[in-house]
Structure 1
Amino acid sequence: MAASGLARPSSVTVPVARRTAVRAVGTLLAVELLAVALYLRVTNTGVLAPRYTLYPFVWINVGVWVLLRRPAVAAARRRRLLAGAVAVAYFLLLAVAGGLLGGGGMSMPARIAWLSPGWGPALLYTGDWVSLTVIPFEVVGYAVLATLVYTVVLAGARSALAGLLGVATCVGCLWPFGAALLAVLGGVGSPLATAVPGVAYDLSTALFLLTVGMLYWAAGRAA
């Protein structure tokens, strides 16, 4: 009797935890959809392809989920410094490849572009030496990839090869988002807007998910 009494709480805790997680995810998705609906209503903006409006939430939600579940790796201070340096370099590489960070030009004051939630609000700045195009979901996505690379490098040098493969994958696939933002800011009828194929959005998101999954798997295996 005592044994069965002790086993009962664990059998109840698991379903409760799952229900709590499902409710949290459902609430998050509802808030995101509500934010998009409010934005479309307030700005009187039409949606030609709903999936492009929702892709930023795929990046953000998957990224947060992976970060919450990534393994903790114990390592010496020297290894942590090395892994941190690799992660920072990886983030900067993605930022440049994705159009978030670039060279300067004609100096312009910083401004906010009120794009669809996830795409915006975007911070735009051009200085004499540097230009910034801060798109929320890109920043989150890059930070997630950099954190996973940090974890992989921390776990072992052999697993770091997965991070290098992630660089090759994402650097080649993230450029369409920077071009797409310029197309939006330049106008739907601009030459740049017509030059960006719609499939670029789908490909970039698919490759982002592939790279996240690969790095997450490598981190879990090495930990």
Structure 2
Amino acid sequence: MRHQTRVSPGTEWLQRPELWWLTLLVTVEAAGLVGYLLLSNTDVGSLRYLLYPFVWINVGVVGVVHVTPRPASRRAQVVAGVLAGLYFLVLAGLAGLVSVDVASLIGTAGHHAHGHTHAHVRGLQVTMTVPGWGPRVGYAGAGVTLNLVPFRVVGYLALSYLVYAALCDLASAAVSGLLGLGSCLSCTLPIVGSLSAGLVGGAGVVAALSTLSVDLSTAVFVGSVLLLALRPSLGGAS
């Protein structure tokens, strides 16, 4: 005879898979961060910049575990997958994770590309740094350059999955999905600031915006994941 485990009222949230995944993830992250700081003797300049990568990773993982795409036709899944892939590439391109030299790829650079072959480091490089910010994986090829920062890769993949789920649900994900583009503010704010410096009062304001860019991008990323993950309960899915 099978016995069913009774769950006490008010403790149902303890059975949610997000909680177990998050507990395991935070434990591993804490051990890795403490171990790295002890072994490397790294000076901690600002605690929040050490923790922001884990905010991205943890929020992204919880959002992915929380959301399950609704069943959809094969065509809808393919279209949603293509759009989500393009969405990821846009975020990665704006954040500088991926850059493409179209001229080199199509061969129009000619002797210019050949002349600089030995001027730049080519190939694969791995840089060890603080967990979350690293290990960074870089690759420089003839036409494609990769600069993969772990927490941004995980965050953008999570956003892309949530956009895929939203599209499979035939939900109106335009607002919450496009809001995810704001998570690359750490790269776009310096550009916007440099263009508008003369209009807003000089370099002081630009410097302040650059200093807060990681803070702002983290806040927008968390808001984006929340909107995409909670949209069914907010009336975003029909």
Q: TM-score normalized by structure 2?
A: 0.73
Q: Does 1:138 align with 2:152?
A: yes
Structure 1 pair 165–10 and aligned structure 2 pair: CA distance change class (3 A): same
Bigger helix fraction: 1
Deviations 1:12-60 (A, max 9, x none): 5984871796676444323312211211222221011011011111111
Partner residue, 2:83: 86
Q: Does 1:222 align with 2:218?
A: no
Structure 1 pair 26–164 and aligned structure 2 pair: CA distance change class (3 A): closer
Partner residue, 2:138: 124
Count of aligned residue pairs for this structure pair:
201
Structure 1 pair 74–16 and aligned structure 2 pair: CA distance change class (3 A): closer
Partner residue, 2:127: 113
Partner residue, 2:215: 202
Q: Are the counterparts in 1 of residues 179 and 220 from structure 2 also a CA contact under 8 Å? A: no
Deviations 1:93-128 (A, max 9, x none): 001011100135835221111011011111011111
Letter in 1 for 2:140: T
Q: Does 1:77 align with 2:89?
A: no
CA-based RMSD: 3.1
Consecutive unaligned residues in structure 2, runs of 5 or more:
102-112, 114-119, 192-206
Structure 1 pair 215–33 and aligned structure 2 pair: CA distance change class (3 A): same
Report the secondary structure of 1:45's partner residue: coil
Identify which of 170, 174, 177 aligns with 2:183.
170
Partner residue, 1:60: 57
Report the secondary structure of 2:222's partner residue: helix
Deviations 1:198-222 (A, max 9, x none): 3111111001001111111235541
Q: Are the counterparts in 1 of residues 133 and 150 from structure 2 also a CA contact under 8 Å? A: yes
Q: Which runs of 4+ in 1 moved over 6 A?
A: 176-179
Identify which of 5, 9, 14 aligns with 1:9.
5
Q: Percent identity of the aligned residues? A: 33
Letter in 1 for 2:31: L
Consecutive unaligned residues in structure 1, runs of 5 or more:
1-5, 180-193
Q: TM-score normalized by structure 1?
A: 0.77
